[in-house]
Each structure stands twice: as C-alpha cells, then as structure tokens.
Amino acid sequence: MSSEQSHHQAYFRLKNEVAIVTGAASGIGRGIALRFAKEGASVALVDTNEEGAKHVADEIRKQGGEALALQTDIRNPEEVAKTIEAVIAAWKRVTILVNNAGIERATPLLTPDISQAWKEVAETNFHGTFHMTEGVVKTMVQYGWKGTIITMTSVQSEIPVSKGACYPATKAALKAATKSWALELAPYGIRVNAIAPGAIRNTGLNHDVNTENDVQKAKEWNIPLERCGTPEDIADAAVFLATNSYMTGQEIVVDGGLSLTH
C-alpha cells in the first residue's frame, strides 16, 4: 500500500456515517465535529449557541464537508425530537451520537439555594443526555440502523472535588448508564462507550487554561505528561470508539495520567 493510499484511508474512516454532536459550538464538541467531518462523516452540530454552531458548520463546509447547525436545548424532549427529525430529513439516517453537552456549577453543599444549581447541572448533564440517547436509539432500532453512542464522562467522577459535587455525580451516573445501555443495546448492533477527559484547555469547563499557561497548569495539577489536553486529543479517542466494531460498555480515560497522581 502506498503512503498516499494509507493517508486517504486514515482520513475517511467515517465515510457515509451521520453523526450528531451535542455541545458542538465550542471546545471538545467543536473539536470532535471538525475531526468527524475530516474523517468523512456528515455532522449535525447541536447547541443552544446557534451562532457558534453555525460558525463551526461553516468551517466544515469550507473544508468540503457536510454540516448542519441545529439550535437545541437537550433538556427539552420536544426540541430533541425535532432535531433528530431534521437530521434524518437531511441525510436519511443517524449512525453516531456524541453526548458532549454539559455544564458545571462549582457550588459547595452549604451554599444557599444550592438546589437550583444541582437541578441545572442534573437536567443538562444527565437528563439532557438521556433525552438525546433515548431519541436517537429508538429511531435507530425502529429503522434497523446500527451505530454507536459516545458519551463524555469525566475523571472527576473518580477524583473527589472540594466544591460542587453535582458535576462529578452526574458524570458518574453517565458512566453507569453507559454500561447498562451497552448491555441492553448490543443485540441491536448499537455500541455504547464513554470518554473521560482530564484537564482540557480552551473549553468552557477549563476556560482559564490556554496555550500560554498550559505547562504551568499541568505542573500545578501534577499531570505526568506535563501538559493539559486539547479537544483534538479527545477527538482522537472519539474516532477510535466510532470505528472500533468490537468495543462496547467501556470508558476511555484521556487525561495525560492525571488520574494516576490523584
């Protein structure tokens, strides 16, 4: 095989796939959407930030890919249903769902009105992911489409935090759901896996970590590989899970070794 042939195959591993990526307007979601499109997938960018999603869609189209920007609140089942319908209307199927959308509220237990923060985080991270997964999976089963579900969990589900237990709690719940969904959906040819990112720079959850202070932050957090991750690092793992036909019910930790030192 020539190097040219190898290069061509490496960048079209998702040809003919149709992917929905939530939280795709920025950060990890944007990184995964761009990478999936580069690998040949048609990508629906789902986000409450319509302008941000449109901007990423334009990036994909300029590179010759197919993209659709859809403003959606994943906490709303009706909006989720309309989004799935729009994707099917555009490309006739859905084969990949990436549950990336999530929020964090660093709210200690003794904070006044903490129940509101817990409700917001749980509704987005857990219930929103449930609504997207339910809608996509039922559609896939209805039409006999095989595919894969990829959900973002977090190393924080295993590493305790001193402020704001709700975020890691929702991510731990998603890890458990991933395993159960994988078992339930295996007979239908639907694989379900998760990615647990560590400290990823230039994202909404780590907005204070950037290229300039990357190495410094990595030292502060005792990351063995001496750098924070990038959305592209997570996109690599997402492509692997989307293309590995014999892997299900697993969580891949992508954290530069952070979890080894905490």
Residue 76, number of CB atoms within 10 A of its CB: 14
- Residue 16 sits at φ, ψ, to 5 deg, of 75, 5
Apex 50 CA angle, 49 and 55, nearest 5: 100
One-character DSSP codes across 74-112: TT-HHHHHHHHHHHHHHHS---EEEE---------TTST
CA-to-CA separations, 177 to 13, 17, 194, 237, in angstroms, rounded: 27, 24, 10, 19
Residues 6+ apart with CB under 8 A from 17: 36, 40, 41, 42, 95, 96, 147, 242
Burial of 48 (0-12, 13-18, 19+ CB in 10 A): middle
Ramachandran assignment for 16, one of left (phi > 0), alpha (psi -120 to 50 degrees), beta (any other)? left
Tell me the catalytic residues.
Answer: 167
Apex 57 CA angle, 54 and 62, nearest 5: 125
Chain Cα centroid distance, residue 245: 19
Site of tokens 């014999």: 246
Going by the DSSP 8-state scheme, the letter that residue 229 receives in this structure is B
- The answer to whether the CB of 125 falls within 8 A of the CB of 102 is yes
